[in-house]
C-alpha cells in the first residue's frame, strides 16, 4: 500500500509538471500587457482545472503519506 502511494505521488507530480509547462505559453519579457486579463476557454480552461485537481490530490496524498503509520 505504501509503495502504491509513493508511485501515485511520483506520477501525479510528473503529470502536473507537464501541465504547468503546457500552460506557460507567452511568458517571459515580451509579454503583452493587454492579454493579462482574459477568460480561459477551451483547452486552456481544461488544463487549468486539471492542474488544480492534480495539485489538490498531490497535497492529499502527501498528507496521507506523512501520517505516523507510514514511518
Residue range 2-10: average pLDDT?
93
**CB-based contact 39:11 (threshold 8 Å):** no
First to last CA, the chain: 13
Residue 27, pLDDT > 80, answer no
26: which DSSP letter?
T
CB 19 within 8 A of CB 44: no
- Whole-structure pTM value: 0.75
Q: Residue 7 — very low, low, confident or very high, per pLDDT cuts 50/70/90?
A: very high
- Rounded to the nearest integer, the mean pLDDT of the chain is 84
- DSSP alpha helix (H) spans, the chain: 2-23, 43-65
Amino acid at each position: 500500500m505504501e509503495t502504491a502511494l509513493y508511485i501515485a505521488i511520483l506520477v501525479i507530480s510528473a503529470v502536473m509538471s507537464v501541465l504547468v509547462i503546457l500552460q506557460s505559453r507567452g511568458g517571459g519579457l515580451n509579454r503583452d500587457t493587454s492579454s493579462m486579463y482574459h477568460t480561459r476557454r477551451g483547452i486552456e480552461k481544461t488544463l487549468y482545472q486539471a492542474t488544480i485537481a492534480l495539485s489538490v490530490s498531490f497535497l492529499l496524498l502527501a498528507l496521507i503519506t506523512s501520517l505516523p503509520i507510514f514511518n
